[in-house]
Amino acid sequence: MNQLDLVRELAEKSQTKIVMLVADGLGGLPLQKGGKTELETAATPNLDRLAACGTSGSSVPVLPGITPGSGPGHLGLFGYDPLEFKIGRGALEATGIGFELGPDDVAARGNFCTLDTAGLIADRRAGRIPSEESFKVVERLQGVKIEGVETFVKPVKEHRFVVVFRGPGLNGGVADTDPQAVGVAPLDPQPIVPAARRTADVAKEFVRQARALLKDEPKANGLVLRGFAGKPQLPGYEELYGLRAAAIAVYPMYKGLARLAGMTLIGKAQSLDEQIDELGKCWQDYDFFFLHFKYTDSTGEDGDFAEKVRRIEELDRAIPRIEKLGPDVLIVTGDHSTPSRLKSHSWHPVPTLLSAESCRPDGLTKFAERQCLQGGLGMFPAKHLMLMAMAHAGRFGKFGA
Of residues 13 through 32, those in contact with a second copy by CB under 8 A are 27, 29-30
**291: how many CB neighbours lie within 10 A of its CB?**
27
Rounded least distance, CB 232 to a second copy, Å? 11
Instruction: Give dist(CA 184, CA 179) in Å, integer.
Output: 7
Q: Which is nearer to a second copy, 68 or 133 (CB)?
A: 68
Instruction: Report if residue 65 touches a second copy, rule: CB under 8 A.
Output: yes
Q: Quote the DSSP letter at residue 11.
A: B
Q: Tell which one of 82, 155, 222, 300 touches a second copy (CB under 8 A).
A: 82
Q: What is the dihedral of CA 207, 209, 212, 217, to 10 degrees?
A: -60
Q: How many residues does the chain have?
A: 401
Contact track, a second copy, 329-358, x by CB under 8 A: -------------x-xxxxxx--------x
Instruction: Report if residue 87 touches a second copy, rule: CB under 8 A.
Output: yes
Instruction: Report if residue 172 touches a second copy, rule: CB under 8 A.
Output: no
Rounded least distance, CB 363 to a second copy, Å? 5
Q: Tell which one of 25, 47, 80, 88 touches a second copy (CB under 8 A).
A: 88
Q: Tell which one of 131, 180, 271, 374 touches a second copy (CB under 8 A).
A: 374
Instruction: Give dist(CA 314, CA 307) in Å, integer.
Output: 10
Instruction: Report if residue 180 touches a second copy, rule: CB under 8 A.
Output: no
Instruction: Give dist(CA 144, CA 19) in Å, integer.
Output: 44
Instruction: Report if residue 69 touches a second copy, rule: CB under 8 A.
Output: yes
20 phi/psi in degrees, rounded to 5: -115, 110
What residues from 41 to 60 belong to the interface with a second copy (CB under 8 A)? 53, 58
Instruction: Give dist(CA 352, CA 51) in Å, integer.
Output: 9
Closest CA to 188 of 168, 198, 203, 199: 203
Instruction: Give dist(CA 297, CA 74) in Å, integer.
Output: 13
State the DSSP string of 220-246: -SEEEEEEEEE---PPPHHHHH---EE
Q: Tell which one of 22, 38, 64, 326 touches a second copy (CB under 8 A).
A: 64
Rounded least distance, CB 238 to a second copy, Å? 19
Q: Which is nearer to a second copy, 87 or 210 (CB)?
A: 87
| C-beta separation of 91 from 104 below 8 A | no
Q: Which is nearer to a second copy, 179 or 378 (CB)?
A: 378
Q: Which is nearer to a second copy, 83 or 182 (CB)?
A: 83
Instruction: Report if residue 33 touches a second copy, rule: CB under 8 A.
Output: yes
Closest CA to 296 of 278, 280, 272: 272
Q: Tell which one of 47, 92, 121, 243 touches a second copy (CB under 8 A).
A: 92
**Element (DSSP H or E) covering residue 392:** helix 385-392
From the list 14-22, 64-72, 183-191, 203-211, the region that binds a second copy by CB under 8 A is 64-72
Strand-pair category, 288-293 with 245-248: parallel
| CA dihedral sign, ordered 32, 36, 41, 47 | positive
Q: Which is nearer to a second copy, 1 or 118 (CB)?
A: 1
Rounded least distance, CB 20 to a second copy, Å? 14
Rounded least distance, CB 145 to a second copy, Å? 30
| C-beta separation of 58 from 28 below 8 A | no
Instruction: Report if residue 139 touches a second copy, rule: CB under 8 A.
Output: no
What residues from 211 to 270 belong to the interface with a second copy (CB under 8 A)? 227
Instruction: Report if residue 126 touches a second copy, rule: CB under 8 A.
Output: no
